[in-house]
Amino acid sequence: MRRTASRNLATVMLSEAKHLLCEYRQCRPFASLRVTVFIACVHAAWLFLTGCTAATPGALATPYPTLSRPLPTLTPGPLHLAEFAPIERPSASRGMERYTALCESCHGETGRGDTALARTLSPRPANFHDLEFLRRRTPSSLYHSISKGVLGTGMLAYEGQLSEAQRWDVLAYLWTFHRQSDELAAGQSLYAQHCAACHGANGAGGLASPLANPSLLAGRTGYGMFNALSGGLPATPNHEWSTMSEADRWAIVEYVWTFMFGKE
């Protein structure tokens, strides 16, 4: 009984809709009144029809669009800060001069630590192309070694010869040896795509902490940042880009370092 009633109702409404459409096209007066009446009818009919279709409510629900990946949950936590951080942005080009004068004899012109003098030393001077070495160290700890030296090795303390800013400058210079410009460019565009929405363009911050904060970056390691992009932030569980290739995640990390060391 109800089914025939609803079919009749549907037929009536369809013809009314056609009628209204004709009137609208010809710009007849009173059309708007009829539209109001029509809408009221649709509502009444809807109430009637939903009674019939109560058995299949799922069919009426519009599914939510699915996101390709969930957004990280925003739970800013206390960030541990570096023991040593530059007060102003270090300059690799200023550092180059000091490096040539004071460091090159052991660490080499290209930073590979393979000079004649280096070969006489044990342990050998650090090789600044060694990614395993660089990714495990914080800039803060390298700055500490440059300042105080490494006890029992050929690495002497430079705090007497170089000011704080000059020590950060040589560190910024030795940081350039392992860099590749195509990797940095890739990192820059991946950052814009995946990170800038929360951490801001150029790391200026926004929804999440500014990354262009030397006190934050100087206390991080490359591996630490890589892990933070691979689901390793306990307080921010969805902070994960594990489907991105490792090379791309490393490119982002390299780009993030430029917020502290610059791009020169």
Could you list the residues that contact ligand HEC (CB under 6 A)?
Answer: 71-72, 74, 76-77, 79, 102-103, 105-107, 121, 123, 125-126, 141-142, 145-146, 150, 153-155, 158, 170, 174, 194-195, 197-199, 207-209, 211, 220, 224-225, 228-229, 233, 236, 239, 241, 252, 256
Residue 88 CB, shortest distance to ligand HEC, in Å, is: 18
State which residue, 51 or 77, has the beta carbon closest to ligand HEC: 77
Contact predicate 168/90, CB 8 Å: yes
Structure tokens at 249: 């995640």
Contact predicate 79/225, CB 8 Å: no
Residue 57 CB, shortest distance to ligand HEC, in Å, is: 34
Taking the C-alpha atoms of residue 43 and residue 41, their distance in angstroms, rounded to an integer, is 5
Taking the C-alpha atoms of residue 151 and residue 100, their distance in angstroms, rounded to an integer, is 23
State which residue, 89 or 205, has the beta carbon closest to ligand HEC: 205
Residue 181 CB, shortest distance to ligand HEC, in Å, is: 19
State which residue, 6 or 227, has the beta carbon closest to ligand HEC: 227
C-alpha triplet 249, 250, 253: angle, nearest 5°:
95
Structure tokens at 119: 């070969």
State which residue, 37 or 79, has the beta carbon closest to ligand HEC: 79
Taking the C-alpha atoms of residue 149 and residue 155, their distance in angstroms, rounded to an integer, is 5
Residue 101's DSSP bridge partners are none
Residue 34 CB, shortest distance to ligand HEC, in Å, is: 50
State which residue, 186 or 229, has the beta carbon closest to ligand HEC: 229
Locate the DSSP E strands across the chain: none
Taking the C-alpha atoms of residue 261 and residue 214, their distance in angstroms, rounded to an integer, is 9
Q: Three-class SS of residue 231?
A: coil
Residue 147 CB, shortest distance to ligand HEC, in Å, is: 10
State which residue, 62 or 66, has the beta carbon closest to ligand HEC: 66
Residue 131 CB, shortest distance to ligand HEC, in Å, is: 14
